[in-house]
């Protein structure tokens, strides 16, 4: 066997090893679970300084799967509505601290007694519905603007809605 062939075989083995390492890394890395919990007070015009509802947003990623739950509560604790979205994590944070999630389906539930839905819920419902009906996917991006690991909280920028939100992190 000539020398170039030997080197060819050596490099092929090296490539296979690197591929195997990459696969193992992606599989183990993909198994990480992340939970992001964001709590917000919702205000609408003429609320006279009193929050009308509360919103809890939970983001859960496990491997490549991602779920986002928007849960709206009235002041008495009753459910005012919810939107649950499921999708895939297309990019997880590297050095850029960005998650990209492609939502492919969602489920919406209203509150009891046919009370009007929160305006914020209408907004989320409208934007996600528009994208899902036109392209079949609702692309979301979460960027960690500021992270305090010792206190497990982060300031997160949601796109394309351009929403900044302070959230709790649970790993």
Partner 1 sequence: MQLGECWFDDARGELVNRASGDVWHLPRAELQVLRLLCAAAGKVVSKAELRQGDDEHQPLSDSSVARAVFMLRSFIGPGSELLIETVKGQGYMLRLSPQERRSNLHGPRRFGQRVSLVPVWLLSFAMLLAIAGGVYYAWRVAELAPSAPYRVDTLTQADGQMVRLVLYAHSRSNNTLLVEKAAMIGSVLAECRSSRWRDVYLSLSHDSRVLNLTLRGEYLGQAVVRNLKLSDGREPRDFISAEGLREVDICD
Interface residue list for partner 1 (CB under 8 A): 3-4, 7, 11, 38-45, 47-51, 55, 94-98, 118-120, 123, 127, 143, 145-146, 148, 151, 153, 155, 157, 160-168
The phi and psi torsions of 114 (rounded to 5 degrees) equal 45, 35
How near is the Cβ of 98 to partner 1 at its closest, in Å?
7
If the CB atoms of residues 37 and 65 are measured against partner 1, the closer one turns out to be 37
How near is the Cβ of 30 to partner 1 at its closest, in Å?
19
If the CB atoms of residues 22 and 160 are measured against partner 1, the closer one turns out to be 160
Question: To 5 degrees, how large is the angle CA 157–CA 162–CA 166?
Answer: 35
If the CB atoms of residues 62 and 168 are measured against partner 1, the closer one turns out to be 168
| Sign of the four-CA dihedral 70, 123, 61, 150 | negative
Residue 77 is encoded by which pair of tokens? 């604790």
C-beta of residue 37 within 8 angstroms of C-beta of residue 54? no
């Amino acid at each position: 066997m000539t020398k170039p062939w030997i080197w060819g075989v050596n490099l092929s083995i090296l490539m296979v090893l690197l591929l195997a390492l990459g696969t193992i890394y992606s599989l183990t890395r993909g198994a990480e679970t992340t939970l992001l919990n964001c709590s917000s007070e919702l205000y609408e015009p003429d609320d006279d300084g009193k929050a009308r509802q509360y919103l809890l947003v939970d983001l859960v990623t496990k491997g490549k799967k991602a779920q986002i739950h928007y849960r709206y509560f009235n002041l008495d604790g009753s459910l005012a509505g919810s939107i649950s979205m499921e999708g895939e994590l297309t990019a997880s944070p590297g050095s850029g601290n960005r998650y990209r999630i492609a939502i492919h389906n969602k489920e919406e539930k209203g509150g009891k007694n046919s009370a009007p839905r929160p305006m914020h819920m209408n907004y989320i419902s409208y934007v996600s519905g528009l994208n899902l009906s036109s392209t079949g996917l609702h692309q979301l991006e979460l960027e960690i603007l500021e992270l305090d690991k010792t206190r497990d909280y982060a300031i997160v920028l949601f796109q394309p809605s351009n929403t900044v939100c302070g959230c709790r992190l649970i790993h």
